[in-house]
Amino acid sequence: MSNATPKNMAAPGISRSKAEAVNAADTRELYKKREPIYPKLAHGKFRFVKWVIMALALGVYYLIPFLRWDRGPGAPDQAVLVDFAHGRFYFFFLEIWPQEIYYVTGLLIMAALGLFLASALFGRVWCGYACPQTVWTDLFIMVERMFEGDRNARMKLDRAPWSLNKAWRKVGKHAIWLIIAFATGGAWILYFHDAWDTLANFFAGTAAPSSYVFAGVLTFTTYTLAGTMREQVCTYMCPWPRIQAAMTDRDALNVTYRIDRGEPRGAHKKTESWDNRGDCIDCKQCIAVCPMGIDIRDGAQLECIQCGLCIDACDDIMGKVGRPTGLITYETDDNVDRFVRGEKPRYPFIRPRTMVYAVSLAIVSALMLGALVTRTHLELNSQRDRNPNYVRLSDGAVRNGYTVNVINKANAPRVMELAVEGDPAIGVRILGAADMTPDRIEIGPDRSQDYVVYLTLPGAAIDGPSEDIAFVVTDRETGETARSSSVLITGAE
């Protein structure tokens, strides 16, 4: 800060900022225009972690559509693909059919439980580090910083009248933002069709209309949410801060200002004693770096996404004034109270709440894993004709019609046997191609096929209004079987 006056110096080399917590609930007015926030670049371990997570998250998002996975001929070779046209979801070795959507449900339940557990242990780590809103906003602020400089330069530029210098910086920033936004929207559609084909078709103008619509919508939302709305998304639009209130508790680690150490706060000259005062020199660097525009010293608040950047800023200052770091730190509410009372901190990570989350997560994971391991490539469903319920033949026999659906999830054609469990007197007839006999059902790769099957029970074998039966298909080569139970209605009293 070149224009800092000696008055603003808290200690040699330490700038004091006139930062105001513009997004704090007290200063925010419902109908007032949004006060822009100019987050200053922080340096430190949490900033570093955020850079790493940002690079990972963006890398995963942009590159995954281009990963290939060989599934043999006729099947798509994209590792992760949501194929709506053919009703398949491909995820590396997994291929999920629409009726197996419970895998996705299970995954969402696991994600929710994981989030609960993380919240109970470490507060809003999701919001601060991994949420797309945080990642993209961070990226957009980085671009903003490249064009317009850090906090003070940006504030100065915004106050300055329009000039060529201001114009190219603003235009450049928005141009890069739009390119990133377009890349975000563009990458999204790559998850739904083959990535390389979609890329070629997209720019040739021959991609599906929905591709352009979704790319356009996501370009727009990325640009506005990460570029112009930023903290407003978290403060006004996102339900998670509200849910968070139910998830966190006095024993969760949250980004916390150590009120026991900091107060009473105030400016400090190098020669002054640290007796009878707090460590906080009121330099307001924690506010200057905050992307949410709040003052962490006001305590836990809905607006705080707990990104830890104020910890980096404060640790930096504490180092310079020669006080221990950690004035702002990950700490539990309970421990802050203990510090005030002069007691030792305790960290009860294992407590009923975390155990319930952990055990639930383990159970759901085990169920999912079990379902995944025992997943078969063969499925059988049967539906008995209801109209007519049964047909009485001239010789007194009774016939029921069934639609038997065989699903071959394997990527190869298979030959199967169809057997009927129940009264051995039952005659089986499969309507279809000539070689579709009970001994031999052919089904193509990755297909679901319906067969019309007629079962006939001779009149002499009828006793009772219905008989329990079951269809069983068996793969001749692998021995894999699938079963579907049903009944045969005789119409007898």
CB of 314 to other proteins, least distance (A): 41
The answer to whether residue 422 forms part of the interface with other proteins (CB under 8 A) is no
CB of 31 to other proteins, least distance (A): 10
The answer to whether residue 155 forms part of the interface with other proteins (CB under 8 A) is no
Instruction: Identify which of 453, 486, 481 has the alpha carbon closest to the alpha carbon of residue 469.
Output: 486
The region of 1-9, 49-57, 365-373, 427-435 touching other proteins under the rule CB under 8 A is 427-435
The values of phi and psi at residue 193, to 5°, are: -140, 170
Task: Give the C-alpha separation, 211 to 188, whole Å.
Answer: 9
Whether the CB-CB separation of 452 and 470 falls below 8 Å is answered with no
The region of 10-18, 244-252, 339-347, 393-401 touching other proteins under the rule CB under 8 A is 393-401
The answer to whether residue 198 forms part of the interface with other proteins (CB under 8 A) is no
Of residues 121 and 457, the one with the C-beta less far from other proteins: 457
The answer to whether residue 395 forms part of the interface with other proteins (CB under 8 A) is yes
Of residues 351 and 447, the one with the C-beta less far from other proteins: 447
Please enumerate in sequence order all residues whose Cβ is within 8 A of that of 134, keeping only pairs 6 or more positions apart, or say none.
Answer: 127, 128, 305, 307
Task: Give the C-alpha separation, 121 to 119, whole Å.
Answer: 5
Q: Is 302 helix (H, G, I), strand (E, B) or coil?
A: coil
CB of 435 to other proteins, least distance (A): 9
The answer to whether residue 2 forms part of the interface with other proteins (CB under 8 A) is no
**CA 194 → CA 67, 120, 178, 208, distances in Å?**
11, 40, 24, 12
Task: Give the C-alpha separation, 321 to 280, whole Å.
Answer: 10
The region of 176-184, 250-258, 395-403, 464-472 touching other proteins under the rule CB under 8 A is 395-403
Task: Give the C-alpha separation, 218 to 132, whole Å.
Answer: 13
Of residues 252 and 443, the one with the C-beta less far from other proteins: 443
Q: Which x/- pattern over 163-192 shows residues binding other proteins (rule: CB under 8 A)?
A: ------------------------------
Of residues 158 and 439, the one with the C-beta less far from other proteins: 439
The answer to whether residue 433 forms part of the interface with other proteins (CB under 8 A) is yes
| Per-residue three-class SS string for 239-300 | CHHHHHHHHCCCCCCEEEECHHHHCCCCCCCCCCCCCCCCCCCCCCHHHHHCCCCCCHHHCC
Of residues 307 and 469, the one with the C-beta less far from other proteins: 469
Position among 380, 397, 410, 469 found at the interface with other proteins (CB under 8 A): 397
Contacts to other proteins from residues 435-464, by CB under 8 A: 450, 452, 454, 456
Position among 80, 157, 391, 470 found at the interface with other proteins (CB under 8 A): 391
CB of 342 to other proteins, least distance (A): 52
Q: What is the DSSP letter of 190?
A: T
The answer to whether residue 396 forms part of the interface with other proteins (CB under 8 A) is yes
The answer to whether residue 413 forms part of the interface with other proteins (CB under 8 A) is no
Of residues 3 and 387, the one with the C-beta less far from other proteins: 387
Whether the CB-CB separation of 440 and 433 falls below 8 Å is answered with no
CB of 372 to other proteins, least distance (A): 32
Contacts to other proteins from residues 358-387, by CB under 8 A: 385-387
**CA 159 → CA 147, 334, 359, distances in Å?**
16, 44, 55
CB of 455 to other proteins, least distance (A): 10
Instruction: Identify which of 299, 287, 303, 173 has the alpha carbon closest to the alpha carbon of residue 232.
Output: 303
| Identity of the residue numbered 343 | E
The answer to whether residue 427 forms part of the interface with other proteins (CB under 8 A) is yes
Position among 166, 277, 429, 440 found at the interface with other proteins (CB under 8 A): 429
Position among 370, 388, 413, 465 found at the interface with other proteins (CB under 8 A): 388
CB of 162 to other proteins, least distance (A): 26
The counts of H helices and E strands in the chain are 15, 16
**CA R_g for the chain:** 33
* # residues contacting other proteins (CB under 8 A): 23
Whether the CB-CB separation of 254 and 330 falls below 8 Å is answered with yes
Question: Among positive and negative, which fits the CA dihedral 233, 236, 239, 242?
Answer: positive
Q: Is 67 helix (H, G, I), strand (E, B) or coil?
A: coil
**CA 26 → CA 32, 294, 337, distances in Å?**
13, 10, 24
The answer to whether residue 414 forms part of the interface with other proteins (CB under 8 A) is no
Of residues 301 and 405, the one with the C-beta less far from other proteins: 405
The answer to whether residue 393 forms part of the interface with other proteins (CB under 8 A) is yes
Cis before 388 (ω within 30): yes
The answer to whether residue 394 forms part of the interface with other proteins (CB under 8 A) is yes
Position among 359, 431, 477, 485 found at the interface with other proteins (CB under 8 A): 431
Contacts to other proteins from residues 78-97, by CB under 8 A: none
Task: Give the C-alpha separation, 324 to 315, whole Å.
Answer: 8
Applying CB under 8 A, the residues found at the interface with other proteins are 385-388, 391-397, 399, 401, 427, 429, 431-434, 450, 452, 454, 456
